[in-house]
Each structure stands twice: as C-alpha cells, then as structure tokens.
Amino acid sequence: RHLEVDVAGMGAALVDGDRRPWEGRAIVGTPRTPTPGLSSLVEHVVLAPYWVVPESIARAEIRPRLARDPGYLARHHMERLPGGTLRQRPGPDNPLGPAKLIFDNPFGVRVHGTSAPSLFEARVRAFSHGCIRVEDPLALAAQLLPDLTPDEIAATVATGTDVWVALDEPVPIHVVYWTARVDADGTLRLRPDFYGRDRALARALGLDAPS
C-alpha cells in the first residue's frame, strides 16, 4: 500500500494492490516553483492544521502587504510568532484546507487540502509553490486513520484546533513525474511536459528533444 502523486498527471491515489480506495485530482507546483520528485513515509495526519508561512512567501508576498495594510493579519486570521514567523489559524480560509500529511523530505513539501477548490476545475493545475493540494483530503485521512470514523474526523476538524494523529503504520509516498503512462487496459497516455524535464533529459542524452 502506498500513496502515489503523479505530478505530470496532476492526480493522486492511495494504491492498495489492484485497488485504489482513494484517488482525486491534484494541484501541483508552477514551472517556477515545481513539485520535486521524492519518496518518503507518511507518518502523521494533521487535522485542522495551522499554516506556518514559509519565509520566502512571507518576504515576497505577505510582509509587503502588511506594510501597506496594518490590518492584513487580523483579517486573514494570521498571527506573528516569537521570532517573527507568521502563521494562519485553522479555518475555511486556511490554504492547507482541513488536513495535511506529514512525511520527512528535504524540500518542506506536504500533501494537503485547499481553501480554493475551484482550481481543481482547471485543465492544467500547476498553481502551488511546490506542495500538493488534493481533492477531499478528509476522505484520504479516513483511509489512513482507520481507528477514526469519518464523523470523528469531521468533528475534530470542526474544533478549529490542530490535532496530530500518528499512523499505526507509516505509508510510503512516491511523488513522480510521468509524462507517459500506460493504463490498465494498455492505453498509452501522454501528458504535457510542463516542467520541461523530458526536453532536458533528451538534451543530456544527445537526442532530439521530443515535440
């Protein structure tokens, strides 16, 4: 059993043998802030998570707005921690949505929900700073936390207090970038190479770049 995030396909699935008990569309990083490939182990699910604003985003986006608008933090349910770190409290406008998955990686990447579900309707869903936003993260959480019912998970989220829940057994996660893939029925699926990785590989091998 493992969680598979297909960046080029902009989708994610929990794979258990020949079954996929959860799958959905995903939002991935832009070409300027691409989602990295990685393998790790999901060890915790955080329900009603805080969003600790990365320093790069705080410096480039939030602090300039705060300088022009002193009420910005209060309106967006944000707070300043000792040392100057900014974080947003759990709630409907939190960009992590109702849940996030924690797995060790050197990129600071997480899988989480979103406060902007309308973006899932886009054909090319490359909007994030590198993290992976998924549809219906509470359904995924229910698959990873079988000791909690969906109603218990929803009630925990409704408290608005972040709760870390350890998985009984860590679940492998693989974040891949497959621009070519074969379906179970043998159909070849080709995806746009919006990160330009196929072209870079072709050049490194001395081949003509794919069209």
pLDDT digits (tens, 9 = 90+) for 11-61: 999 999 999 999 999 999 999 999 999 999 999 999 999 999 999 899 999
The answer to whether residues 87 and 40 touch, using CB atoms and an 8 Å cutoff, is: no
Model confidence pLDDT, tens digit, residues 79-127: 999 999 999 999 999 999 999 999 999 999 999 999 999 999 999 999 9
What pLDDT score does 183 carry?
86
Q: What is the pTM of this model?
A: 0.89
The answer to whether residues 9 and 191 touch, using CB atoms and an 8 Å cutoff, is: yes
What pLDDT score does 210 carry?
56
**Percent of residues, the chain, with pLDDT higher than 90:** 91
Tokens of 149: 């019912």
In DSSP notation, 99-126 reads EEEEE--TT---EE--S-GGGGGSSS-E
Model confidence pLDDT, tens digit, residues 132-175: 999 999 999 999 999 999 999 999 999 999 999 999 999 999 99
